[in-house]
Amino acid sequence: MTVINYAQALHQEIEQTPQEYLGALLNIVHTFKESVTEKPLLDEKTRLALAEGQRQADNGQFASDDEVTNFFKKWDVDA
């Protein structure tokens, strides 16, 4: 089984990246880090709406196929 030293592999990739692309690479790394480590802040209204949706799903309350189709028709989406 191969064990990968990810830090070393990342350093090698960075060293091989042309100087003019390092700024873009840094932005990519920051974006990735934020996407896996930071939780979005939700306002109270959104938090309550999500909790209500979870409660309904837990109780087996789901939209019918027709309700979903009609909902998406508002935006001309064929669902």
Determine the pLDDT at residue 36.
87
Nearest residue to 10 via CA among 28, 2, 72, 1: 28
Q: Which residue type, as a one-letter code, is found at position 11?
A: H
Determine the pLDDT at residue 39.
76
Using CA atoms, how far apart are residues 1 and 39, in angstroms rounded to an integer? 34
Contact by Cβ (8 Å): 68, 79 = yes
**Tens-digit pLDDT profile for residues 3-13:** 889 999 999 99
- Radius of gyration (C-alpha) of the chain in whole angstroms: 22
**Prediction pTM value:** 0.45
Determine the pLDDT at residue 55.
94
Domain boundaries, the chain: 6-37, 44-73
Using CA atoms, how far apart are residues 44 and 59, in angstroms rounded to an integer? 23
